[in-house]
């Protein structure tokens, strides 16, 4: 009887684990297919729109293929959905909340006390303050500042080309007559500015006065990372192939060192942005609405009360 009981319990466990693994593998495959060209679809779409508005041709002929762009977007969406499903199944399997992944009891912080990283939780005064907790949070904050630097470097390169600069060009006339609004120059500079804003916001942690839902910067960071990491991986692999004499792509008047630098740059930028976004997510998720676990995300200023009263205030969401 005991043997039969054990068998009946083990079979669903193995089946559930296999189903979770299969879902994760399928999600990774679809996400990889979708991400492989989504960067070119997004940038190509932007360049096509600018070219239609200004009548100028872009510095590179990316073009825009609606059917392929739609197929890749659908694959990316389906793959992401399957990955989220796999994560939630895994959380349920280990007895954690499927929504937030927490398994510990409710955790509240007294204002004015010190957290695990040795930072003091603010008891009020001025705008709400955030503190990174632990080594992972410190890493994510630094990744946010690294995102700012990497985005600024790429944006500076493209903007100086748009202004007529020749840094990084083997042939100063490689792009012909270009302007800042030429497709592929100023528009990518704007994307770099968005990347800088995301990185800085994740590092400093956006505060409530902006009235911005968390999903907006997190979605932007997800799209940015999905654009940057695959291009960085594929481009770096191509440059390795060139170094080994296995490929000889056209450089179109751009200095070889630009490609040697820019593809690893994209990879580092995408990974840094993703790391910063994950840290921001964990710092700001607050109390889970599904299970009630977690720390409140904000410390509100108790207006009209003295310092002694504020010291006893608890954090609220």
Which own/partner pairs from 8-17 qualify as long-range (CB within 8 Å, at least 24 positions apart)? 13/93, 16/89, 16/93, 17/93
Work out the average pLDDT over 38-42.
80
Contact yes or no for 137/282 (Cβ under 8 A): yes
Q: Is the dihedral of CA 100, 106, 110, 114 positive or negative?
A: negative
310, containing H or E segment: helix 307-311
pLDDT score of 297: 67
122 pLDDT above the threshold of 70:
no
Residue 56 has pLDDT above 80, yes or no: no
Quick: pLDDT tens for 164-174. 888 888 777 77
Residues 121 and 80 in one domain: no
pLDDT digit string (tens) for 238-268?
889 888 888 777 777 788 888 889 999 999 9
| pLDDT for 53 beyond 70 | yes
Q: Regarding predicted confidence, which is higher, 5 or 177? A: 177
Do 156 and 204 belong to one domain? yes
Residues 122 and 190 in one domain: yes
User: Is the same domain home to 167 and 198?
Assistant: yes
Residue 7 lies in a domain: no
* pLDDT of residue 20 exceeding 80: yes
Helix axes 2-54, 66-93, angle to 10 degrees: 150
pLDDT at 113 over 60: no
Does residue 244 lie within any of the structural domains?
yes
Domain boundary among 95, 120, 144: 95
Please tell me the pTM assigned to this model: 0.75
Total domains in the chain come to: 2
Percent of the chain with pLDDT over 90: 22
pLDDT the model gives residue 207: 62
Instruction: Confirm whether 125 is domain-assigned.
Output: yes
Domain contains 3: no
Distance CA 263, CA 261 (A): 6
pLDDT of residue 180: 79
Containing 159, the helix (H) or strand (E) segment is: helix 134-162
Same domain, 131 and 90: no
Instruction: Give domain status of residue 31, yes or no.
Output: yes
pLDDT interval class at 60 (50, 70, 90): low
Domain boundary among 66, 95, 124: 95
Instruction: In whole angstroms, give the CA distance from residue 194 to residue 190.
Output: 6
Residue 120 bridge partners (DSSP): 114
What range does the domain containing 247 cover?
A: 107-317
- pLDDT at residue 273 in the model: 95
89 and 224 fall within a common domain? no
User: Is residue 203's pLDDT more than 70?
Assistant: yes
In this structure, the answer to whether residues 59 and 146 fall within a common structural domain is no
**Residue 220 falls within a domain, yes or no?**
yes
Q: Is residue 180 part of a domain?
A: yes
Handedness of CA 123, 139, 296, 294 (dihedral sign): negative
Both 200 and 301 in a single domain? yes
Model pLDDT, residue 7: 42
Residues 66 and 121 in one domain: no
Q: Do residues 40 and 170 share a domain?
A: no
Task: Name the band, by pLDDT with cuts 50, 70 and 90, for residue 61.
Answer: low
Same domain, 84 and 204: no
What integer is the mean pLDDT of 220-228?
91
Last residue of a domain, one of 95, 120, 147: 95
């Amino acid at each position: 009887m005991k043997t039969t009981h054990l068998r009946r319990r083990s079979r669903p466990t193995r089946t559930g684990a296999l189903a979770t693994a299969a879902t994760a593998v399928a999600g990774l495959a679809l996400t990889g297919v979708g991400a492989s060209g989504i960067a070119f679809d997004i940038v190509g779409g932007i360049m096509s729109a600018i070219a239609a508005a200004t009548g100028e041709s872009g510095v590179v002929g990316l073009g825009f293929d609606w059917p392929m762009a739609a197929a890749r977007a659908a694959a990316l969406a389906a793959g992401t959905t399957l990955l989220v499903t796999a994560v939630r199944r895994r959380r349920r399997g280990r007895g954690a909340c499927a929504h937030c992944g927490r398994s510990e009891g409710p955790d509240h912080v007294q204002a004015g006390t010190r957290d695990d990283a040795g930072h003091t939780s603010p008891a009020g005064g001025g705008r709400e303050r955030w503190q990174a907790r632990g080594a992972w949070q410190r890493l994510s904050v630094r990744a946010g500042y690294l995102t700012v630097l990497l985005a600024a470097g790429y944006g500076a390169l493209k903007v100086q080309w748009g202004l007529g600069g020749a840094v990084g060009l083997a042939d100063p006339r490689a792009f012909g007559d270009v302007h800042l609004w030429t497709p592929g120059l100023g528009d990518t500079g704007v994307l770099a500015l968005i990347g800088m804003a995301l990185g800085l916001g994740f590092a400093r942690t956006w505060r409530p006065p902006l009235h911005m839902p968390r999903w907006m910067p997190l979605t932007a960071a997800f799209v940015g990372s999905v654009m940057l990491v695959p291009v960085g991986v594929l481009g770096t692999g191509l440059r390795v192939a060139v170094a080994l004499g296995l490929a000889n792509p056209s450089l179109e008047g751009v200095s070889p060192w630009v490609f040697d630098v820019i593809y690893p740059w994209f990879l580092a930028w995408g990974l840094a942005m993703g790391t910063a976004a994950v840290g921001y997510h964990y710092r700001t998720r607050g109390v889970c609405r599904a299970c009630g676990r977690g720390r409140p995300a904000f410390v509100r200023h108790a207006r009209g009360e003295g310092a002694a009263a504020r010291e006893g205030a608890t954090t609220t969401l």
